[in-house]
């Protein structure tokens, strides 16, 4: 699959799609249907976050959607002061409703793009980014956001990701993309495969897991761990030195 950055969707187009897709992203049991092992990856990153920072007081959920990952994290750490960030106000409203219902800590919502959102440095014990970073575009965009997240993470804090990934070897990428296509067909047939691939082609610019692991180290994270990978999806994270 070729990456054609100049033809990719704008932030406003992405926002509009998510504004109208709240219900699909509100299932804590399954996560996102089109994502392989979504529920497992969500469980792994939140357990890893809680294991790495059991005394966490502040968490940031980037691209929080309807709040699934923060809700899962709260099963392990509660109370927790949670900042929920998303470009979609309907998603934020649903996330706030769901998270506030169970959290004993403070909950704040921030409607903004992580690239420009004014957030405090060295503040968050845990940062989550689930199915959001694949919207970043060129290498400069990726490095700026990873550097910003490193800056936001408190000393000793950790950053955890689940996302769609590409592959360095084009033949391996094609193989993995075909496996993903077969998975999509098992859910909804050939038309569902075409639908998902079409919006990925228009909306997403994923990077390889290897690229992101190297970038985490480059921006300053001390340790990096891969928790899970299946086909075109991975769960991984990093910890900042105290």
Confidence check: pLDDT of 2 > 60 = no
Confidence check: pLDDT of 23 > 50 = yes
Task: Tell me the per-residue pLDDT of 88-124, one tens digit each, with 9 for 90 and over.
Answer: 999 999 999 999 999 999 999 999 999 999 999 999 9
Task: Tell me the per-residue pLDDT of 47-98, one tens digit each, with 9 for 90 and over.
Answer: 999 999 999 999 999 999 999 999 999 999 999 999 999 999 999 999 999 9
Read off the pLDDT of each residue in 5-29 and give the average, rounded to a whole number.
Answer: 75
Query: 3-class secondary structure for the chain?
Result: CCCCHHHCCCHHHHHHHHHCCCHHHCCCCCCCCCCCCHHHHHHHHHHHHHHHCCCCCEEEEECCCCCHHHHHHHCCCCCCEEEEEECCHHHHHHHHHHHHHHCCCCEEEEECCCCCCCCCCCCEEEEEEECCHHHCCCHHHHHHHHHHHHHHEEEEEEEEEEEECECCCHHHHHHHHHHHHHHHHHHHHHHHHHHHHHHHHHHCCCCEHHHHHHHHHHHCCCEEEEEEEECCEEEEEEECCC
Please report the domains of the chain, with CATH numbers, ordered by start residue.
5-239 (3.40.50.150)
Q: pTM score, two decimals?
A: 0.94
């Amino acid at each position: 699959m070729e990456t054609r950055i100049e033809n990719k969707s704008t932030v406003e187009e992405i926002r509009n799609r998510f504004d109208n897709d709240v219900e699909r992203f509100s299932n804590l049991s399954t996560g996102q249907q089109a994502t392989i092992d979504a529920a497992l990856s969500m469980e792994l990153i939140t357990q890893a976050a809680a294991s790495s920072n059991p005394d966490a007081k502040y968490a940031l959920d980037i691209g929080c959607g309807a709040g699934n990952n923060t809700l899962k994290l709260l099963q392990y750490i509660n109370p927790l002061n949670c900042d929920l960030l998303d470009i979609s106000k309907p998603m934020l409203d649903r996330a706030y409703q769901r998270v506030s219902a169970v959290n004993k800590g403070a909950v704040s919502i921030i409607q903004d793009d992580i690239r420009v959102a004014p957030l405090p440095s060295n503040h968050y014990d845990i940062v989550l980014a689930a199915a959001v970073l694949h919207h970043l575009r060129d290498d400069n965009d990726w490095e700026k956001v990873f550097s910003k997240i490193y800056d936001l993470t408190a000393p000793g804090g950790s950053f955890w990701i689940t996302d769609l990934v590409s592959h360095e070897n084009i033949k391996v990428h094609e193989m993995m993309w075909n496996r993903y296509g077969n998975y999509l067909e098992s859910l909804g047939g050939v038309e569902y495969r075409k639908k998902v691939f079409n919006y990925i082609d228009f909306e997403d610019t994923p990077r390889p897991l290897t690229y992101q692991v190297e970038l985490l180290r480059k921006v300053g994270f001390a340790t990096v761990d891969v928790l899970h990978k299946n086909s075109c999806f991975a769960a991984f994270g990093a910890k900042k030195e105290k």
